Amino acid sequence: MPTDARRAEVASLRDEGLPIWRIAELVGLSKCTLYVHYAAALGSRSNAFLRFASAEELARHPRPVRGRPRHQPTIATSAMVRNLAAQGASLTSISAAIGVTVPTLKRHYARELRAMKSARPGGAQSKENDYVE
């Protein structure tokens, strides 16, 4: 069974930047056993940790947010979208300029894109510049 002294030792070794396999070797455990009993000390929220951890341990080690952060439109990005669309830039180039995908661009900036489409003379645009479907 894990002890507080062993947990402190494992946490100290992890803080030194040692890889998991080396920590397991130094404390005399397999990697699997190390993960099951010392996941909190390792800073891990593995499935084993979720299964064996107490509510207090879960609160001390929140699960890291995964994936890309959700895009939040700003006044600056809205202005950039309006300016690029007014210049006739394609959706691909506009989305690349603000660092989002084309579907995200269409979702968050539909109003800016729709306004620029209606303001453009002639109304005929290529598929690439079809701002709002």
> What is the pLDDT tens value at each position of the chain, 133 positions in all?
778 888 888 888 878 888 878 888 998 888 878 877 777 666 665 555 555 556 776 676 666 556 677 889 999 999 999 999 888 888 999 999 998 999 999 999 998 888 766 665 555 454 445 555 4
Q: What is the dihedral of CA 115, 117, 121, 122, to 10 degrees?
A: -140
* The pLDDT of residue 124: 47
* The pLDDT of residue 78: 92
CA 46-37-24 angle, 5° bins: 90
CA 86-90-95 angle, 5° bins: 100
